[in-house]
Amino acid sequence: MVWTDVTLNRDDPREQKRMAVLRTGARLFNARGFDRTSLDDIASELNVSKRTLYYYVKNKDDILFECSRLALEFMQEATDNSKNLDMPPLDRLAIVMRSYMDLLSNEFGACLVLSKDRVLSNDSQKILHSGRRALDRTVRELIEQGVADGTIVPCEPKFAAAALFGAFNWVPHWHGEGDRDDYAEIANNFLAIFLEGLRVRD
């Protein structure tokens, strides 16, 4: 039995294997598309039977939901750090967006933007939409704070946040498999453009 490496709960063999299923599913979804990937494909990639997969996941939709949920969970620390009022809003915005680009460099983050959640149940969609809205709200609030304290040029936070996420979300489409250093360099270049565009000049 071949299982890919995992980063969570290394002392729990079942959780290691569950994470291996999720990572493999995400990788295949990203490369082939969700609709063109079957549980048989995932099982074959792991060199296990499809029946074995059901010990760790309910179905293919469950894999997509868990990958997307974990991706949004990854951003929790960054959004918590964005509340540090000792730092200017633009600096906190940069931290959040660099963390977001780091997320996009891994299988789960890429899966979050490359696979549509419309195939999931209404309850699952609501959970993921809530996570996305919370992240969007964090970025909007940072822009609003910068406008209020005079460090960000007056603008519509909704559109500024949409421009940021639109640019970042497109990277997995054209960059392919993630490399953290490559994605970090892209984030630096994007932020050099966006933050200078938002920054108030003397």
Q: Count the alpha carbons within 13 Å of 104 in the hemisphere toward its beta carbon.
A: 26
Q: Which residue has the tokens 């490369």?
A: 31
Which CATH superfamily includes the segment(s) 13-57?
Homeodomain-like (1.10.10.60)
What letter represents residue 70's amino acid? L
Q: Angle, to 10 degrees, between the axis of helix 60-74 and the axis of helix 13-32? A: 100
**Average of pLDDT values for 136-144?**
96
In the structure, what pLDDT confidence band is assigned to residue 178 with cuts at 50, 70 and 90? low
**Average of pLDDT values for 27-53?**
95
The mean pLDDT value of the chain amounts to 90
Percent pLDDT > 90 in the chain is 79
Domains 13-57 and 68-198 share a fold: no
Contact 85, 103 (CB under 8 A): no
pLDDT of residue 84: 85
**Average of pLDDT values for 148-165?**
95
Q: Angle, to 10 degrees, between the axis of helix 107-114 and the axis of helix 89-104? A: 90
Q: What is the rounded distance in angstroms from the CA atom of residue 28 to the CA atom of residue 93? A: 32
| Domain locations along the chain | 13-57, 68-198
CATH of domain 68-198: 1.10.357.10
**Average of pLDDT values for 34-52?**
95
Q: What is the rounded distance in angstroms from the CA atom of residue 144 to the CA atom of residue 120? A: 33
Q: Is the pLDDT of residue 9 over 90?
A: no
pLDDT of residue 81: 82
Contact 6, 20 (CB under 8 A): yes
**Average of pLDDT values for 179-192?**
92
Kindly report, residue by residue over 97-136, the tens digit of the pLDDT: 999 999 999 999 999 999 989 999 999 999 999 999 999 9
Kindly report, residue by residue over 74-91, the tens digit of the pLDDT: 998 888 888 888 899 999
Q: Is the pLDDT of residue 139 over 70?
A: yes
pLDDT of residue 2: 34
Q: pTM (2 decimals)?
A: 0.89
